[in-house]
Amino acid sequence: MREERKIKAIKIAAFAINAALYVTAGIIFYSVLPLSFGPVRFWPQAVIPAIFATVFGPWVGGLGAGLGIFLNDVILNGNPLLSLMAGVTSNFVGFWLVGYIARRRVRWSTSIVAYGLVTALLMAIAYAYTDFIYVILVAVSYAIFVTLALLIHQFFSNKWQSFLIGAVTGLLVGSAIIGLMVPVYFQYFAPVATPLTLGGGLAYFIWTFTTEIGFMLTLGPPIIAVIYMAFPAFRPKETQREQK
C-alpha cells in the first residue's frame, strides 16, 4: 500500500514537472526562434513529453503534454479553441502512444514495414489528389525517418527499438490529428473561413512530423539512458532485458 502511494506521488510530481518544462521550454524557444507553418509552431521540445511518457508511463506523458501545449497555445497564440481541437488532442493521444509502446516489447521489422506501407499510401493519396510537391515531401519524410532509424539502430543495437517505434507511431498519429483539425478549425470556426483541402491537411501533417521526429529520436535515447542510470527503479519491467 505504501509502495503504491509512493509510485502515485512520483507520477503526479512527474506529470507536473512534465507540463511545467513543456510550457517553459515552449515559450523560451519560440521567443528565440519564432518559426511556424501557419498556426503550427516549430516544436523541438516535443522530446520532453516523449521522455516523460517513456520513463513514467503514457498517462504522465499524455496528460502533461496536453496541459503543457494548452498553456503554451493560450500564452503564445491566444486561441484556446484551436488548442483544444488540435493541440491538446494531438499531444495527449500522441504522447500517450509513445509511452504505451516504448514501455513494451515490439518487433522492429514489422514496424518498419508498416511505416513503409503507411508512407506509400500517403504518397498515393498526395499524387492522386494534391500537387506533386506533397509527394516529394512525403518521400523526404520517409527518407529522414529511415536514415535516423538506421543510425540509431546501428549505435544502440536493439536497446531503443521500442522507444523508436513508439516515438514514430505517436508522432504520426499526433501529426495526423493536427493535419485534420487545423483545417477543420479554419473552415468552420475561424473569423474568416478558409476552404478545407486535402493538400492543406497533408502540409500540416508533414510539417509537424518532419520537424519534430528528429529531435525525439536523437535526443530521447541518451537522455532516457542517463535517467535510467541515475534511477534504475524507473526502468519499465517490460523492457529491462532489452535496456541492459
* CATH code, 162: 1.10.1760.20
pLDDT for position 63: 97
Separation between Cα atoms, residue 125 and residue 167, nearest integer Å: 24
Quick check: is 244 in a domain?
no
pLDDT at 244: 45
Task: Find all residues with CB under 8 Å of 51, minimum gap 6, and list them.
Answer: 220, 223, 224, 227
Residue 7 lies in a domain: yes
Report phi then psi at 42, rounded to 5.
Answer: -65, 125
Is 171 part of a structural domain of the chain? yes
Q: Assign residue 41 a region (left: φ > 0; alpha: ψ between -120 and 50; beta: otherwise).
A: beta
Which segments of the chain have a pLDDT < 50? 241-244
In a domain, residue 113? The reply is: yes
Per-residue model confidence (pLDDT) at position 171 = 93
What's the whole-model pTM score? 0.84
Residues 133 and 198: their CA atoms lie apart, in Å, by 13
Q: Which domain holds residue 43?
A: 2-238
Q: Which of 106, 13, 104 is nearest to 63 (CA)?
A: 13
Strand blocks (E) in 42-167: none
